[in-house]
């Protein structure tokens, strides 16, 4: 897969250009599936936030589904175990991009496994994964205990499809727990490479090559 791992979505022209480059053709020619599942595991989210994200109705934030796709569908992972794989797998294989919303990364990880989508990911070589916050963190090896909201005393490992971890929403207004100092403390407990990124930053991964795409602030840690 080609990965565009963001904190806040496609929030500026540089991130949008990176997405277009991964797709290899205009967004208007591409089909997308939107995955809101991570929100159900995040106590700050609920039916209204899921609707706003799905309908692209956030007033102060750009959405994923409103980027101008040829078509957009919703893929709810918690429903997939009740549907025969031969029904839903073609939906995924036919999509050009998976738009994976934020919320709670370990909850999303659990349903990626239980739904069977995680096992399908290695086959999706040309598909683009666009993650927001938890939708990005779920592909990393660990998220850190600071980001465990669904099961606070549980493990913090995730899929590990990339070899670095992500601290999202760096210096987000009003979020005192997302300062650079907090990110440094988090990174000290996360082995290997990690990044703290703000909502104007993305990490692009194509064929194992990692590139930071940013109009904002980001920091790399190596521990």
Per-residue DSSP letters for 151-201?
Answer: STTS--B---SSSEEEE-STT-TT-GGGSHHHHHHHHHTS-SEEEEE-TTE
In the three-class reduction of DSSP (H, G, I as helix; E, B as strand; rest coil), residue 20 is classed as helix
End-to-end CA distance of the chain: 27
- As a whole-number percent, the residues of the chain with pLDDT over 90 amount to 95
Measured distance CA(123)–CA(121) in Å, rounded: 5
Domain count for the chain: 1
Per-residue pLDDT averaged across 204-212, rounded? 96
Show the 3-state SS of 77-137. Answer: HHHHHHCCHHHHHHHHHHCCEEEECCCCHHHHHHHHHHHCHHHHHHHCCCCEEEEECHHHH
The pLDDT of residue 60 is 67
For the cut 80, the answer to whether the pLDDT of residue 223 exceeds it is no
Measured distance CA(97)–CA(127) in Å, rounded: 5
Measured distance CA(28)–CA(152) in Å, rounded: 41
Show the domain range for 62: 2-222
Per-residue pLDDT averaged across 21-44, rounded? 97
Measured distance CA(160)–CA(82) in Å, rounded: 26
* Band of residue 62 on the pLDDT scale cut at 50, 70, 90: low
**pLDDT for 7-32, tens place per residue?**
999 999 999 999 999 999 999 999 99
Measured distance CA(42)–CA(147) in Å, rounded: 10
Measured distance CA(214)–CA(89) in Å, rounded: 34
The pLDDT of residue 58 is 83
**pLDDT for 80-100, tens place per residue?**
999 999 999 999 999 999 999
For the cut 70, the answer to whether the pLDDT of residue 61 exceeds it is no
CATH of the domain at 165: 3.40.50.880
Question: What average pLDDT does the chain have?
Answer: 96
Closest C-alpha to 144, from 152, 172, 136? 152
Measured distance CA(140)–CA(145) in Å, rounded: 14
Cα angle for residues 155, 129, 215 (degrees, 5° grid): 95
* Band of residue 59 on the pLDDT scale cut at 50, 70, 90: confident
Per-residue pLDDT averaged across 190-199, rounded? 96
**pLDDT for 130-161, tens place per residue?**
999 999 999 999 999 999 999 999 999 999 99
The pLDDT of residue 93 is 98
Measured distance CA(138)–CA(104) in Å, rounded: 9
Among the ranges given (6-10, 56-60, 104-108), the one the predictor scored with the smallest mean pLDDT:
56-60
């Amino acid at each position: 897969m080609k990965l565009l791992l963001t904190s806040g979505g496609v929030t500026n022209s540089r991130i949008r250009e990176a997405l277009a480059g991964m797709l290899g053709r205009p967004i208007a020619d591409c089909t997308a599936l939107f995955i809101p599942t991570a929100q159900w595991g995040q106590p700050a989210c609920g039916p209204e936030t899921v609707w706003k994200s799905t309908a692209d109705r956030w007033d102060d934030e750009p959405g994923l589904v409103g980027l101008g796709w040829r078509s957009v569908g919703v893929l709810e992972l918690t429903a997939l175990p009740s549907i025969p794989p031969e029904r839903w797998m073609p939906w995924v294989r036919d999509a050009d991009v998976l738009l994976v919303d934020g919320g709670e990364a370990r909850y999303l990880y659990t349903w990626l496994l239980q739904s069977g989508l995680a096992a399908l990911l290695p086959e999706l070589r040309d598909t683009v994964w666009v993650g927001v916050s938890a939708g990005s963190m779920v592909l990393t090896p660990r998220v850190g205990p600071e980001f465990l909201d669904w099961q606070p005393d549980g493990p913090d490992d995730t899929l590990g499809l990339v070899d670095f971890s992500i601290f999202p929403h760096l210096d987000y207004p009003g979020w005192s727990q997302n300062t650079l100092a907090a990110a440094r403390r988090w990174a000290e407990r996360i082995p290997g490479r990690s990044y703290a990124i703000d909502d104007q930053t993305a990490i692009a991964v194509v064929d194992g090559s990692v590139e930071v795409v940013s109009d904002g602030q980001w920091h790399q840690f190596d521990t």
